[in-house]
Amino acid sequence: MRNLLLIFICIIFFSCSTKQNETHNTPSYIIDIDKAVVEEQLLYSTVFHKMKTIILETSEQCLISMIDKMEVYNDYIIILDTRAAKSVFVFDKEGKFIKKIGTVGAGPGEFIYPVDITIDSKRGEIYILDFSSQKILRYHISTGAYLSTINIHRADGNSITKICYVNDILYTDAAFPNQSSTNYLMQALNASSGEKKNVYFTTEYTNKGWYDMYEINSKAFHHTGKRSLFNQYFMDTVVSLMPQVDPFFIIQSNKLPTQKDMEKFASSDFSNRHKIDKITDLNKFIEYKDFIFFEYRLGFPFKNIIYNKKTGETFQYKYITNDFLFNIRDYTIPIFGYAASEGLYTFYEAGGIDRLIFFIEEGWCSDKLDRKEEILNLDEDTNPIIFYFEYKDLNI
Amino acid sequence: MKTRIINISIFLLVVILTVIFVIFNKIKPENDYLSYEHEIQEIPEVFIKELRLNQINETLGVNKPILVYRYTTDVCNSCLHEDLYELSKWLDHLGKQNVMVLPAYPHNRDTRIRLHNELAKFNYKNISSDSVVIPFDKDGNSKRYFALISENGEPELIFFPESGKTELTDFFLKRVQKKIKNNKD
């Protein structure tokens, strides 16, 4: 009896005192931005061999204000409009409206403020994160049928704004109300029960002198066409979630924020962060063949990087010109939507279409732009236009 | 023997306290309701007058009693959906044609999209705050409200829902249903 008690005490002691240090493999690639070869211009036609214009159907049932997130699954283009419609719309690849998934409301299978979606392509299911209730709702994509609700275990007091499904695991970001050494940037939940399986990038691990201060990225999770990635605003490390959570690449530069910069951030108005000439906000990740493409913010403007995984060479382009759309070097190339394995989906917001019409009327649009006449006839009520660019054999 | 008596006494005391606790909790909503009745008496007369002047049924072109739910962009997202959820639960009992949701949002494309999706279950009309009055609290924030308007444009029941107190909204809507039923009879 005494021995049993001793064993029990030992178990309790070790389970409480064992501190698991977070360890990860070393990143597969180190990208030194300062050593990038600066080139003048990258043409879309260097990378893509054709473009397709997808004019999304416009009707009272499927009016979209903003595309907050786009996913592509089989023949469907799935669009989340977080703010006005608070809805998830499914279109086919010709732009025909198919259905809405879920409805706004507080009842079972309804959501109030859908802030993110993620796809389980194996089962053909979609997960919708309701920020208001901090619940994740699961639906069948083809039928639109509501399947279940996952209640997120929130013992740590964090709230989540982004989700990403990978192999039966739902990865989420984690926003904490207070700074603490126990905070973390990402967690893994069981996709069925919502039970927490693991936490990643604790303050202790990621701490570069700024505690857990980071801004929730507009997109914490990214699809490159080959894998899912995780990255937050101030992270210099881009994490791959496949086959396991490990650093994919790390960036090096003299322009990365230092501890002093972060203290400055912390003590000043956070909205002024763009005024500081530092590298932040890595985004728009694309992977094709041996190349990784991404953008980052240096102060306010975005810069691009193309990294060759095979040779280790890094390139930066002063201009990226969409010569499928324009005859001129235009700075308003369509907005990045979704990187698929076979191509890239971009879009023009409803509010930006009049500008595109102006470009067509001025003769500034390329002959490669199809459906010009239809675009010219669009009115202010129209839904966004999607431009899909298909990769060709890449040889930059 | 003495210990047994003490044990039984403690047991009885616990049972009695439990019964008192349960009864107290059961009558609590009634107490809340009473306080809500009290609140009704404190609704500023000027607001009722303005509501009467607005002749909502004329604005909406109806000549029957109608329950309106009025709110502006000030309302918190979860508060709005809490109210709408309660209202949707009662919609069949009240009759969809007897309920009108009246948001006061700016007239633009985004509002059209928002209302089309948010109020898909209801009859609704986006009308400016000039047409149908919206009261304000001490801090200058607009207050959302339910009002049952008679066929003569007379406000019969008014209720200001509160976040997290859905049982009161539920109670109010039950009263509205009774009133509409009585009016029919």
DSSP line for A79-114: EEETTTT-EEEEEETTS-EEEEESEESSSTTEES-E
pLDDT of residue B163: 87
**Tokens for A287?**
């992977």
Distance from C-alpha of A78 to C-alpha of A328, rounded to nearest angstrom: 31
Could you tell me the sign of the dihedral formed by the alpha carbons of B84, B86, B89, B90, in that order?
negative
Alpha helices in A153-240 (DSSP H): 203-206
Distance from C-alpha of A9 to C-alpha of A4, rounded to nearest angstrom: 9
A88 near B CB under 8 A: no
Task: Give the pLDDT band of residue A126 (cuts 50, 70, 90).
Answer: very high
Task: Give the pLDDT band of residue A121 (cuts 50, 70, 90).
Answer: very high
Distance from C-alpha of A155 to C-alpha of A61, rounded to nearest angstrom: 39
Average pLDDT over residues A96-112: 91
**Residue of chain A minimizing CA distance to B119:** A104
Please name every residue paired with A54 in a beta bridge, in sequence order, or none if there are none.
Answer: A386
Residue A288 burial class via C-beta count within 10 angstroms: exposed 0-12, middle 13-18, buried 19 and up: buried
* Phi-psi label, residue B86: left if phi above 0, alpha if psi -120 to 50, beta otherwise: alpha
What are the distances in angstroms from CA A385 to CA A157, A218, A246, A369, A393? Answer: 40, 21, 36, 12, 26
Q: Do B117 and A64 touch (CB under 8 A)?
A: no
Distance from C-alpha of A147 to C-alpha of A120, rounded to nearest angstrom: 13
pLDDT of residue A218: 61
| Chain B residues within an 8 Å CB radius of A132 | 77-78, 81
Q: How far is B111 from chain A (nearest CA, A)?
A: 7
pLDDT of residue B34: 38
Q: What is the mean pLDDT of chain B?
A: 81
Q: What is the mean pLDDT of chain A?
A: 86
Higher pLDDT, B31 or A46: A46
How high is the ipTM of this complex?
0.78
Please name every residue paired with A126 in a beta bridge, in sequence order, or none if there are none.
Answer: A119, A139
Distance from C-alpha of A386 to C-alpha of A76, rounded to nearest angstrom: 13
Q: Around Cβ A253, how many Cβ atoms within 10 Å? A: 16
Q: What percentage of chain B has pLDDT greater than the value 70?
A: 85
Count of residues making up chain A: 396
B79 near A CB under 8 A: no
- List, in order, residues 6 or more apart from A53 with CB less than 8 Å away: A369, A370, A371, A375, A385, A386, A387
Higher pLDDT, B132 or A266: B132
Q: Which of residues 335-354 of A touch B (CB under 8 A)?
A: 350
B31 near A CB under 8 A: no
Q: Chains A and B: how many Cβ contacts under 8 Å?
A: 52
pLDDT of residue A394: 55
pLDDT digit string, tens, across residues A185-244: 899 999 988 889 999 988 666 655 444 555 554 678 999 999 999 998 888 899 999 989
Q: Do A106 and B113 touch (CB under 8 A)?
A: no
| Radius of gyration, alpha carbons of chain B | 21
Higher pLDDT, A209 or A384: A384
Q: How far is A173 from chain B (nearest CA, A)?
A: 22
Distance from C-alpha of A129 to C-alpha of A111, rounded to nearest angstrom: 8
Nearest to B86 by CA among A251, A81, A107: A107
- List, in order, residues 6 or more apart from B27 with CB less than 8 Å away: none
Q: What percentage of chain A has pLDDT greater than the value 90?
A: 59
A159 near B CB under 8 A: no
Task: Give the pLDDT band of residue A287 (cuts 50, 70, 90).
Answer: very high
A149 near B CB under 8 A: no
Q: Do A65 and B113 touch (CB under 8 A)?
A: yes
pLDDT of residue A124: 97
Nearest to A386 by CA among A58, A82, A121: A58
Q: Read off φ and ψ for residue A325, nearest 5 degrees.
A: -100, -40
Distance from C-alpha of A223 to C-alpha of A284, rounded to nearest angstrom: 9
A379 near B CB under 8 A: no
pLDDT of residue B64: 85
pLDDT of residue A377: 95
pLDDT of residue A14: 40
- DSSP secondary structure letter of residue A238: E
Q: How far is A111 from chain B (nearest CA, A)?
A: 9
pLDDT of residue A270: 62
pTM, rounded to two decimals: 0.83
pLDDT of residue A205: 67
